[in-house]
C-alpha cells in the first residue's frame, strides 16, 4: 500500500506541470476484484482444506496517447491474495488449540508494469486489448525456510522481485468531457515465486507451504481523466452542451428508466442484551447492490444483499458471550411507491415492501473459551460448533418508508427506514459447556429481524452516457 501511495504522489506531481497538463497524458484509476491462482504444497493429514478467496486490487496509471487508437500505459498496482485454511491441534505445535479452527489469511504485493493499448472505435465506445510487462515485488517479515532441504527456518524481512506479464481485454466508454470508463477482463501472470508462508509449525517435515507467483484473473473497472485542454471556441460550445446535458441528467434521475443503487445500513438487533462482553454490539451492518426500474410512481428492485448477525449465549462461567458473527447472503425483491413533492424535483417520499430469499450463511466457525480438568483431561469450558442447518432458500420480509434528494444533479441519495420481520434462524450452533463438573448443552442462533437505517446512492444508468 505504501508503494501505491508513493506512486499516486509521483503521478499527480507529474500531471501538475503545465507541459504535461496540455499534452496527451491521461490519469487512470482501477479497481479489480480477482481470484488468485495459488496452491498448497504438502497438505498434511488432517487436511488444511486450503481455499482461495476473492481479493481486491487497487491501481493507478498514466496513459500516453500515441495516436487516436494507440496508448502507452504505465501502471502501479497494490494486489491482495487472500485465502482460508483449517488449523487443527495436530498442526499448531501448541496444546492451547482444542479443536479445528477456520482461519482467514492474507498476502499483499506490488506490481509495476508498462503496457501498449490498442483500441478500435465504435460510435462513442471502443474495444481495446492491452498486453503489459513488468515486475511483481513482495516484502514480508516472518518465518520462512532457508531452502528446500528442510533446514531450520529464519526470521526477518524478505524482499522478492519476479518478472510478470498481463493481458487485458475490455471496452472503453467515452464521456463528453474527454474522460472515459474502462470495463474489462485481466489475466496477470507471475514468472517466479513470491513469499511462501508456512501454515503449520509442527516438528514434522515436510511442512505445508502456500505456493504463489502473483498470478490472478479478475474484472477491471477503471476511470480515465484526460488533461487535454480545449480551444476558446470549443470551450464556449462545451458550456452550452454542458448546460443541456445537466438538464437531461436531472430529468433522467427523476424520470422513468433503469438504475443501479448501492446501499449501506445499520440494523438494530431486537434480541440485544447489554453486557460487557467483547465484540458484542447492538448494531449489525448490511449492504445491498440493487438493480431497479422506475415506471411512473412505482419502482421495482432486485440484486444482492449481505447481512451480518450475531449468535450469543449467556454462559454459566463467562456471562454473555458472542459466539459468532455470521454473514447471510440473500436476494432482495423490493417494490417502492413514491410521490414527488414540489415543482422542482427536490424531494421524493414513499413507502417500500420487500421479500428476501436467503442464499447461504458464511463466516461462522467453531468457538472455544477457557478450559477445565475433568478426570485428568483438559476439556473446553465453553465450546460452540456450527450445525448442518441449511440456511439457503429461507424467506424474511421488510417494510418501511423512504425519502430521496438530489445528489450531483445526475443521481439521488436515498434514505430508507424499515423493519425486518419473519427471519429464519441464522448462525445456528451447538453450545457445550462444563459447569460444576457436568456438561450442559444447548442450541443457539441469531436473527435478521430488527429496525434498519439505510443510506443509498441511486444512479440512473441512462445518465452514464449523457
Residue of 456, 462, 403, 449 lying closest to 423 (CA atoms): 449
CA–CA separation, 130 and 402 (whole Å) = 45
User: What was the pLDDT predicted at 28?
Assistant: 93
Do 117 and 147 have their domain in common?
A: yes
Residue of 112, 75, 93, 310 lying closest to 214 (CA atoms): 112
**What residues of the chain score a pLDDT lower than 50?**
1, 4-5, 8, 12, 15-22, 95-96, 147, 203
In a domain, 349, yes or no: yes
Degrees, nearest 5: CA angle 403-408-412: 25
In a domain, 313, yes or no: yes
Write the DSSP symbol of residue 198.
Answer: B
Torsion over CA: 340, 346, 350, 355 (sign):
positive
| Beta carbons within 8 Å of 289's beta carbon, 6+ residues apart | 260, 261, 262, 303, 304, 305
CA–CA separation, 83 and 100 (whole Å) = 17
Q: What is the dihedral of CA 265, 268, 271, 272, to 10 degrees?
A: 110
Do 218 and 256 have their domain in common?
A: no
Q: What is the dihedral of CA 272, 273, 277, 279, to 10 degrees?
A: 10
Do 78 and 191 have their domain in common?
A: yes
Write the DSSP symbol of residue 461.
Answer: G
CA distances from 333 to 1, 229, 289, 371 (A): 38, 46, 12, 46
Domain finish residue from 229, 260, 283 = 229
Do 110 and 75 have their domain in common?
A: yes
Task: Identify whether the C-beta of residue 76 lies closer than 8 Å to the C-beta of residue 47.
Answer: no
In a domain, 239, yes or no: no
Do 180 and 113 have their domain in common?
A: yes
Residue of 206, 151, 223, 260 lying closest to 40 (CA atoms): 206
Do 259 and 186 have their domain in common?
A: no
Beta pairing partners, 389: none
Full residue range of the structural domain in which residue 428 is found: 244-465
How far does CA 241 lie from the centroid of its chain?
A: 37
Residue of 240, 196, 232, 264 lying closest to 42 (CA atoms): 196
Task: Identify whether the C-beta of residue 193 lies closer than 8 Å to the C-beta of residue 160.
Answer: yes
Residue labelled with grid coordinates 518465518: 143
In a domain, 235, yes or no: no
CA–CA separation, 432 and 428 (whole Å) = 13
In a domain, 333, yes or no: yes
Domain with residue 440: its CATH number is 2.40.160.20
Q: What is the pLDDT of residues 73-112, one digit of tens each?
A: 999 999 888 887 777 766 665 544 556 666 777 788 899 9
Do 307 and 401 have their domain in common?
A: yes
In a domain, 267, yes or no: yes
Residue labelled with grid coordinates 419502482: 299
Do 170 and 281 have their domain in common?
A: no
Task: Identify whether the C-beta of residue 199 lies closer than 8 Å to the C-beta of residue 211.
Answer: no
In a domain, 74, yes or no: yes
DSSP secondary structure letters along 341-409: ETTTT-EEEEEEEEEEEEEEEE----EEEEEEEETTEEEEEEEEEE-----TT-EEEEEEEEEEEEETT
CA distances from 386 to 308, 379, 429 (A): 16, 18, 4
Residue of 366, 283, 272, 270 lying closest to 312 (CA atoms): 272
Residue 432 phi, psi dihedral angles, 5° rounding: -120, 130
Do 302 and 218 have their domain in common?
A: no
Beta pairing partners, 8: none
Do 153 and 297 have their domain in common?
A: no
Do 199 and 248 have their domain in common?
A: no
Do 137 and 265 have their domain in common?
A: no
In a domain, 109, yes or no: yes
Report the domain count for the chain.
Answer: 2
Amino acid at each position: 500500500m505504501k508503494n501505491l501511495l508513493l506512486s499516486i504522489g509521483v503521478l499527480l506531481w507529474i500531471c501538475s506541470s503545465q507541459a504535461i497538463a496540455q499534452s496527451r497524458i491521461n490519469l487512470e484509476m482501477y479497481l479489480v476484484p480477482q481470484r488468485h491462482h495459488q496452491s498448497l504444497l504438502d497438505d498434511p493429514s488432517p487436511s488444511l482444506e486450503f481455499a482461495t478467496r476473492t481479493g481486491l486490487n487497487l491501481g493507478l496509471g498514466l496513459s500516453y496517447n500515441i495516436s487516436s487508437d494507440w496508448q502507452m500505459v504505465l501502471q502501479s498496482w497494490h494486489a491482495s491474495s487472500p485465502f482460508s485454511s483449517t488449523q487443527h491441534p495436530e498442526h499448531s505445535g501448541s496444546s492451547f488449540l482444542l479443536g479445528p479452527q477456520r482461519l482467514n489469511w492474507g498476502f499483499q504485493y506490488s506490481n509495476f508494469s508498462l503496457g501498449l493499448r490498442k483500441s478500435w472505435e465504435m460510435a462513442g465506445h471502443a474495444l481495446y486489448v492491452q498486453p503489459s510487462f513488468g515486475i511483481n515485488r513482495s516484502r514480508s517479515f516472518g518465518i520462512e525456510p532457508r531452502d528446500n532441504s528442510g533446514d531450520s527456518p529464519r526470521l526477518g524481512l524478505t524482499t522478492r522481485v519476479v518478472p510478470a506479464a498481463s493481458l487485458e481485454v475490455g471496452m472503453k466508454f467515452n464521456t463528453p468531457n474527454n474522460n472515459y470508463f474502462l470495463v474489462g477482463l485481466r489475466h496477470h501472470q507471475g514468472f517466479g515465486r513470491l513469499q511462501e508462508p508456512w501454515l503449520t509449525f509442527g516438528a514434522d517435515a515436510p511442512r505445508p507451504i502456500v505456493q504463489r507467483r502473483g498470478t490472478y484473473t479478475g474484472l477491471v473497472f477503471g476511470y480515465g481523466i484526460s488533461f487535454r485542454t480545449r480551444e476558446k471556441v470549443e470551450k464556449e460550445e462545451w458550456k452550452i452542451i454542458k448546460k443541456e446535458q445537466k438538464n437531461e441528467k436531472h430529468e433522467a434521475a427523476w424520470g422513468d428508466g433503469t438504475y443501479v443503487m448501492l446501499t449501506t445500513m445499520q440494523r438494530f438487533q431486537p434480541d440485544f442484551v447489554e453486557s460487557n462482553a467483547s465484540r458484542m454490539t447492538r448494531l449489525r451492518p448490511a449492504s445491498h447492490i440493487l438493480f431497479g426500474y422506475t415506471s411512473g410512481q412505482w419502482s421495482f428492485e432486485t440484486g444482492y444483499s449481505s447481512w451480518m448477525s450475531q449468535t450469543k449465549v449467556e454462559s454459566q462461567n463467562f456471562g454473555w458471550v458472542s459466539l459468532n458473527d455470521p454473514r447471510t447472503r440473500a436476494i432482495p425483491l423490493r417494490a417502492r411507491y413514491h410521490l414527488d413533492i414540489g415543482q422542482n424535483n427536490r424531494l421524493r417520499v414513499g413507502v417500500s415492501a420487500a421479500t428476501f430469499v436467503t442464499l447461504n450463511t458464511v463466516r461462522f466457525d467453531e468457538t472455544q473459551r477457557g478450559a477445565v480438568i475433568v478426570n485428568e483431561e483438559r476439556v473446553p469450558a465453553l465450546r460452540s460448533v456450527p450445525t448442518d442447518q441449511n440456511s439457503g432458500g429461507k424467506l424474511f420480509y421488510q417494510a418501511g418508508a423512504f425519502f430521496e434528494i438530489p445528489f450531483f444533479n445526475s443521481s439521488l441519495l436515498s434514505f430508507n427506514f424499515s423493519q425486518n420481520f419473519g427471519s429464519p434462524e441464522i448462525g445456528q450452533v451447538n453450545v457445550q459447556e462444563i459447569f460444576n463438573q457436568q456438561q450442559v448443552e444447548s442450541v443457539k442462533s441469531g436473527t435478521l429481524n430488527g429496525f434498519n437505517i439505510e443510506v443509498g446512492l441511486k444512479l440512473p444508468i441512462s445518465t452514464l452516457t449523457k
